[in-house]
Amino acid sequence: MSIALRIYYDFSSPFCYAGRAVVARLRETWPLVVEWLPFEIIDYLPPKGANPQNPAFVRRGERQRALRLAEQYGLTMHLRERLLNTNLALCAVEQVRATTEGDADAVDRLHGALFDAYYRDQRDIADLGVVLDVSREQSLDAGMEAALSDGRHRVKVARSRAEAHANGVVSVPTWLAGGYAVVGVPELAAFERLLETARAAGG
């Protein structure tokens, strides 16, 4: 029996990038149906992002933890201190969800490609041209430029964040399965326990 795993994410979080590697590892032994849900951490940034306004945004401990996860899961992860405006990239994923009738594989493909573009390839996914290029590379650019230009998915992205807050989600990644949750990227055993508990509860 498949287990539904819902994950709130934002492209600005390197821990969400590591989370994709965790999902790949879990899928080796678990029949997962994964849904990535947008959670824009900072929804008031200018389009090109901003430099951190206080040191709390650049936590060296978290930086080192993210790099350790990258090493653990074999990821190339370039970290930057500039705060990323992720709205365009989040809306691009929602455009694919809308135009493919929720095809999870298509959504996952663009989701992964945008994460790789930012953290591995050091491309600026706050830039419309970059997001369109990444979409074309995945053959998922149908109607993309018009959708991102007119902002038709911004309300959906904002609603997803509001619904998450209403359900007690305050950070990313947050993993939900069977009415239970894991926050962040702890050891793999924590995810195994989450999925075991979800399976016992009927998925």
Q: What is the pLDDT of residues 144-182, one digit of tens each?
A: 999 999 999 999 999 999 999 999 999 999 999 999 999
CA distances (Å), origin 179, targets 6, 10, 21, 155, 194: 10, 21, 23, 26, 10
The overall average pLDDT reported for the chain is: 94
Output the furthest CA–CA distance in the chain (Å, rounded). Answer: 47
Distances (CA, A) of 67 to 35, 83, 103: 25, 18, 31
Residue 42 has pLDDT above 80, yes or no: yes
Q: Is 197 or 54 the better-scoring residue by pLDDT?
A: 197
Give the pLDDT score at 90. Answer: 98
Global pTM value? 0.95
> What's the confidence (pLDDT) of residue 19?
98
Q: How many domains does the structure of the chain reveal?
A: 1
| Residue 4: predicted pLDDT | 97
- Per mean pLDDT, which range of 44-53, 63-72, 127-136, 152-161 is the poorest? 44-53
For the record, the structure tokens of 173 come out as 């990644």
Which one is predicted more confidently, 189 or 56?
Answer: 189
Domain that holds residue 145: 3-200
Strand ordering across the sheet containing 3-9: 32-38, 3-9, 174-177, 180-183
pLDDT of 86 over the 90 cut: yes
pLDDT in the model for residue 61: 82
58 pLDDT more than 70: no
Which of 92, 104, 98, 117 lies closest to 17, judged by CA? 117
Q: List the beta bridge partners of residue 181.
A: 176
CATH of the domain at 157: 3.40.30.10
| Residue of 154 and 202 predicted with greater confidence | 154
Spatial distance between the Cα atoms of 148 and 128, rounded to a whole number of angstroms: 8
Task: Report, as an integer, the average pLDDT of 53-59.
Answer: 57
pLDDT of residue 57 exceeding 70: no
Query: Worst-scoring range by mean pLDDT, 47-51, 141-145, 157-161?
Result: 47-51
| pLDDT per position as a tens digit, 101-137 | 999 999 999 999 999 999 999 999 999 999 999 999 9
Identify the band that residue 1 occupies on the pLDDT scale cut at 50, 70 and 90. confident
In 3D space, the residue among 113, 90, 15 whose CA is nearest the CA of residue 59 turns out to be 15
Tell me what percent of the residues of the chain surpass a pLDDT of 70. 96
